[in-house]
Structure 1
Amino acid sequence: MQKTTLALMMGASLLFAMSACQPPADLPETSKTKSTSTQTVEQPNAEPLIEAKTPKALATALIKLSEKKLTDKLVCTKLSEAMTAIDNKSKIEDIHAIQRQLNACLPMTDNVEILQWLKEYQALYGRFLGSNDDMDDADFYEVVATIEQGQGLSVKQLKTLSPRGRYLIELVANNADVSLLYLGEGIFTFHHNLKAMAALFIPYLPNEQAKFIQRMAKDNQDIFWNDAAVAVSFSEVIARANFWEDYIRRYPKSYFIQDAKDLFSLYRYVLFYGSDNTRWTDDAVHEFLDPKYTQAMTQLSKRSNSTLAQDAQSFLDFIALSDRERKKKYPVPSKDDKGNKRDDWAMPRYRLMAALPLPSPWEDNNNRDCLSSVICVSYNVESSL
């Protein structure tokens, strides 16, 4: 009788330990995006414990379950090594194996290791997809055009590519989590599904981290820059600036807070100054190029407790000034910092910067890339989150 009681207590204890490894019932709302991923978490099977009718059967089931947990733990200790081994000679099946290991290991580890695995998992895709060396000739463009037209690739077309390029193109054609992303100026790169990547990790991250990578996955699935022009709409720039302002206010101690501030600075600057090849107003900065821009900026100015709202109002006030009022309120030196005479085009922008002084995101020596994947990385450096 005592042995039976002891065995049942052991079984109950193990079941409690197993349940403690599972994600909490009240997962953040962002975890709902996991339904978009084809990856599922395989949980330990406790059925043999429940069905055990004798102390011996229960002991046998406990031993088998313990062996499986020990095996899973061993696999998890080798996970970083397995991800680092993925390179431009690996196959998509190798990544699928990594995904299965992550599904088993993520519920059993702490936040520090999860973030490390996220960084390594993102980096492995960069190595797997390789360089763009053979993606800028006529043969490659013909292959791309064939895929975009929904037609099958011929053997002749595939033979024009390098062996690795051929393999990746076949993955693209078969929708195997590899796609072609146009970067502008005739340049393509191989890309992958960022939302699926985020969905794999989101259920095991605190809300502030989950919100960060979920938004990054959404925004960075496509490009933001195209030949020094903004590749998204004016309303999308506003939406992104709003999101990061709200994120900074809501999660001031976030693990990703500095990257969030950098993103806010970028979108805020682009919203009011555009870029070298993107303008939201005429050259004189007297009116918006599209009436919808005026409406959107006016609406933005009405946000409560918002730095962006104050900026928007300052911008609208500046547009409303006549040239005479601007000259009086914001005098411009006849020469720039290099001693060159300022041209007429530069005058309105100089005055706008005086009326709405915003820090340029390109003048703080920031070498972080936050526009390519689900976390920011230092340019050409994989070792920094």
Structure 2
Amino acid sequence: MFLCFSILNGCQQQPEPQPAPEFPNNKTVQKEAVDLSLLCKKLEKNMLEIDDQRTTFALEQINQDLKVCLPLLKADEQKKLLRLSNQMYRNFLHVERTAQQQMAFEQFAFDMAQHPTIQQNHYEQLTARDQYLLKHKGQAYVELFDAGEGQLRYRRSPEYLAKIFAPYMEESEQVFIEKLAEQNAQPALLQQSLAIEPQEIATRAIFWEDYLKQYPDSPYKKDAQQLLYQYSQLLFIGSAHSPVSNDFSDRLSIQASSLEEIERLAQLKNSRLADQARLFLKLLDQNTAASTQRSEAQMLNFIGVRNPDPHYKKDCFSDAICVNQSST
């Protein structure tokens, strides 16, 4: 028994030798660094070469390269590429049309929105570029956008900057871009009518008020001020086709959903918007018996909703940043 035990003990399997850890080859690491450096240096040139003859595949390739390069770049270089991306999409989405082609495009786009599964006879009258963009919308962040007043146009999805650029930017810029992208996914106005409820309008206005408090030195400060002003207007006055009131004579003259939201807002503290809501209700209650008629301008002036920059010309309702209207 002792002999068998000794034999068994001696025949136990020995642990297998572990392979030596592999270390990356210095030449491989250097080559990858050089390749990335070259890729990022060529990125600006590649973006500038995008025009209205290129494909969505070319855009998608550049967007993939941006995801690789942006984390490696300094803030000023990132912002330069962001500006270039604006120009890149403007060039890509540009379409030259005759008056007849423009009418065919608008009619086709309208019909497609109403009956997306039906092929319209207007399609053959479209430019080759329109046919391509309509076929590939949804790719490379390309969308067909209702800009109001019967104007349909292509746009870069607001999600683009939020997903491609925002993760690598300063906090104040990241928060601005991501929130505006979220808001503009559902436009506030459609054909000069409100496309969102008063509760959502108030929520957006409160966000921009808080944003200005939290990031007083944000590079997007003027844009945030304008967003606060415009949403305040929509809350207290409404739009051309969705007015809050016709005469602001008393509480009964106010649209019920708007009045409910303004009354709720008036209960908040430490908010300029809440102060304005209380003034709004106070003015309505002062002359109920007299049923005094007031204009929109008078109401805005009384509650202190004023344009922070009357010369401001940017569009803040189409993208994840506010852009010059001449560039949209």
Is the TM value for this pair above 0.5? yes
Matched, 1:303 2:283: no
8 Å CA contact retained: 1:178, 1:193: yes
Matched, 1:97 2:61: yes
Question: Equivalents in 2 of 1:353, 1:152: separation in Å?
Answer: 47
Of residues 134, 146, 161, the one that matches 1:169 is 134
Of residues 251, 256, 265, the one that matches 1:291 is 256
Amino acid at match of 1:379: Q
Question: Equivalents in 1 of 2:109, 2:314: separation in Å?
Answer: 33
Higher CA-based Rg = 2
8 Å CA contact retained: 1:326, 1:351: no
What's the Cα RMSD here? 2.9
Amino acid at match of 2:53: K
Question: Equivalents in 2 of 1:62, 1:349: separation in Å?
Answer: 71
Counterpart in the other structure of 1:109: 73
Within a 5 Å distance, the mapping from 1:27-66 to structure 2 comes to 51-52=22-23, 58=24, 61-66=25-30
The residue matched to 1:188 in structure 2 has which SS?
Answer: strand
Whose relative contact order is higher, 1 or 2, with alpha carbons under 8 Å and at least 6 apart?
A: 1
Of residues 221, 236, 241, the one that matches 2:185 is 221
Counterpart in the other structure of 1:359: 306
Within a 5 Å distance, the mapping from 1:314-353 to structure 2 comes to 314-322=279-287, 347-349=294-296, 351-353=298-300
Q: Alpha-carbon deviation of 1:51? A: 2.1
Q: Where does the alignment leave 5 or more consecutive residues of structure 1 unmatched?
A: 1-48, 53-57, 328-344
Of residues 131, 144, 168, the one that matches 1:180 is 144
Of residues 153, 168, 181, the one that matches 1:189 is 153
Question: Normalising by the residue count of structure 2, what TM-score does the alignment of the two structures yield?
Answer: 0.82
Question: Normalising by the residue count of structure 1, what TM-score does the alignment of the two structures yield?
Answer: 0.71
Instruction: Give the number of aligned pairs.
Output: 306
Counterpart in the other structure of 2:323: 377
Of residues 78, 97, 103, the one that matches 1:137 is 103
Task: Assess, with a 3 A threshold, how the Cα gap between structure 1 residues 246 and 203 changes in structure 2: closer, same or farther.
Answer: same
Amino acid at match of 1:256: Y
Q: Alpha-carbon deviation of 1:255? A: 2.0
- CA shift digits 1:259-280 (9 cap, x unpaired): 1112112212332222333311
The residue matched to 1:72 in structure 2 has which SS?
Answer: helix
Counterpart in the other structure of 2:14: none
Matched, 1:151 2:117: yes
Identity over the aligned pairs, expressed in percent? 24
Task: Assess, with a 3 A threshold, how the Cα gap between structure 1 residues 306 and 139 changes in structure 2: closer, same or farther.
Answer: closer
The residue matched to 1:380 in structure 2 has which SS?
Answer: helix
- CA shift digits 1:212-257 (9 cap, x unpaired): 0001111223443444444432222211110100100111111212
